[in-house]
């Protein structure tokens, strides 16, 4: 547990307002890591009740597969708060009951997927009918697979918000410009590091051994759900450009596959990279995440488009891992050295930067120092203070 979480772990005073956080909490996936870190931090500032799910997604609408995890995070992070895990995607009566009967001065909804729009609309709408303000953290200001109907549904939910939180100025611009929300109703509060994955005794060798990667070789990690916008095609082609000059660099792709891997495999075969591109095309359990990041020399986020902040990037910062990112969404906020921010979809530029990173003496060490410094900027103690101040301002009470 990080020092920032420990600092925020004392129970809130009994006269603090009761805040209800609606989101996904373990043992389910979704944005559970973020929700846990937020609850850890703010539970020392306000009294907290968490509304979570027993069944999160309908399987037939979720290409990533079943949302249930095997492991469960202990609830000691609630620090005197409480949690209810009764919501299901298919039971409107449960949504109504939660919205109409859950006590609380304010609802803080963590909004990230169009699949849950009916659940969120009912619960947020009920809180508004009861005269309670609704703060919505908008994790995806545009959905990853955007369409006219998803935009319409998103705006339907956003109309129920009193105030809004996004994680970067670029996300605030999209929320204001694309969705027509007044800028003075939007607060920019960073996405903190996801420290819950960090293990001091993380295994550097197990993942490398599993994939046959020699200890002295370099590993580029692309982690998380495998979706078209993530830029895996760009990464494979960039690796191909440097493969003859730097043959001891490997690309490790780990995450649940959304869609078809075949187009990427054709690129791998075309460039004769079968021994250099390694795949784990499935969900990585929480207790194995650290092994992948310990095994990596560089974390790569070459996204083609993005209107959010990256949970993978927040994990990489927690491990002080060097990162290369593209200039989309909130990704530029993850690195301090602007040379590490690249244009999306540009294979030659990515290849040149990879060549420089792995050949220039001291480059990776400087990037590690940069990542450690950036991690300090995303302190959950500061995030908790700013979030509590937003709650107080929304409720019209002294900070």
Domain residue limits, the chain: 3-192+379-395, 197-377
Coil, helix or strand for 28?
strand
- pLDDT tens string 121-154: 999 999 999 999 999 999 988 765 656 666 778 8
What is each CA distance from 307 to 110, 166, 171, 314, 356, in whole angstroms?
16, 10, 6, 15, 28
Strand order in the sheet with 47-55: 82-88, 47-55, 18-22, 106-111, 134-138, 163-166, 186-188
Tell me: pLDDT of 116 over 60.
yes
β-strand partners of 337: none
% of the chain with per-residue pLDDT over 90 = 73
% of the chain with per-residue pLDDT over 70 = 89
**DSSP percent split of the chain into helix, strand, coil, nearest 5:** 45, 20, 40
Q: Which residues of 68-88 are buried (b: 16+ CB within 10 A; e: fewer)?
A: ebeeeeebebbbebebebebe
In this prediction the pTM is 0.90
Q: Which residues of 217-242 are buried (b: 16+ CB within 10 A; e: fewer)?
A: ebbbbbbbbbbbebbbbbbbbbbbbb
- pLDDT tens string 10-63: 566 667 899 999 999 988 777 999 999 999 999 988 999 999 999 987 766 655
Looking at the structure, give the CATH architecture of the domain made up of residues 197-377: 3-Layer(aba) Sandwich (3.40)
Strand pairing class (186-188; 163-166): parallel
Q: Do domains 3-192+379-395 and 197-377 have the same CATH topology?
A: yes
Q: Which CATH number fits domain 3-192+379-395: 3.40.50.10300, 3.30.70.1140, 3.90.1150.10, 3.40.50.2000?
A: 3.40.50.2000
Find the angle CA(339)-CA(341)-CA(347) to the nearest 5 degrees. 100
């Amino acid at each position: 547990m990080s020092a920032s979480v420990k600092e925020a772990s004392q129970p809130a005073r009994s006269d603090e307002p009761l805040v209800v956080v609606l989101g996904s909490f373990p043992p389910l996936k979704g944005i559970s890591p973020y929700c846990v870190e937020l609850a850890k931090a703010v539970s020392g500032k306000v009294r907290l009740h968490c509304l979570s799910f027993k069944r999160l997604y309908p399987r037939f609408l979720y290409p990533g597969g079943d949302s249930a995890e095997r492991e469960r995070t202990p609830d000691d992070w609630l620090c005197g708060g409480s949690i209810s895990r009764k919501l299901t995607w298919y039971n409107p009566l449960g949504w109504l009951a939660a919205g109409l009967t859950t006590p609380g001065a304010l609802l803080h909804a963590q909004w990230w997927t169009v699949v849950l729009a009916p659940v969120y609309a009912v619960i947020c709408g009920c809180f508004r009918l009861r005269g309670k303000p609704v703060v919505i953290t908008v994790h995806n200001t545009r959905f990853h697979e955007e369409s006219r109907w998803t935009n319409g549904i998103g705006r339907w939910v956003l109309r129920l918000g009193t105030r809004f939180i996004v994680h970067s100025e670029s996300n605030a611009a999209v929320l204001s410009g694309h969705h027509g929300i007044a800028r003075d109703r939007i607060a920019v509060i960073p996405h903190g590091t996801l420290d819950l994955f960090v293990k001091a005794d993380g295994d550097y060798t197990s993942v490398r051994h599993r994939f046959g990667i020699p200890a002295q070789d370099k590993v580029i990690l692309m982690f998380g759900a495998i979706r078209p916008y993530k830029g895996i095609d760009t990464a494979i082609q960039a690796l191909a450009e440097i493969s003859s000059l730097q043959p001891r660099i490997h690309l490790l792709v780990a995450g649940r596959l959304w869609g078809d891997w075949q187009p990427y495999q054709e690129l791998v075969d075309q460039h004769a990279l079968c021994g250099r591109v390694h795949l784990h095309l499935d969900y990585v359990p929480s207790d194995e995440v650290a092994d992948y990041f310990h095994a990596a020399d560089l974390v790569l986020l070459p996204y083609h488009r993005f209107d959010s902040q990256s949970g993978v990037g927040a994990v990489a910062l927690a491990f002080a891992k060097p990162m290369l990112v593209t200039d989309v969404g909130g990704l530029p906020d993850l690195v301090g050295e602007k040379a590490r921010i690249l244009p999306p979809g540009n294979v030659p530029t990515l290849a040149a930067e990879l060549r420089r990173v792995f050949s220039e003496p001291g480059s990776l060490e400087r990037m590690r120092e940069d990542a450690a410094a950036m991690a300090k900027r995303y302190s959950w103690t500061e995030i908790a203070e700013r979030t509590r101040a937003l709650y107080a301002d929304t409720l019209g009470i002294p900070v």
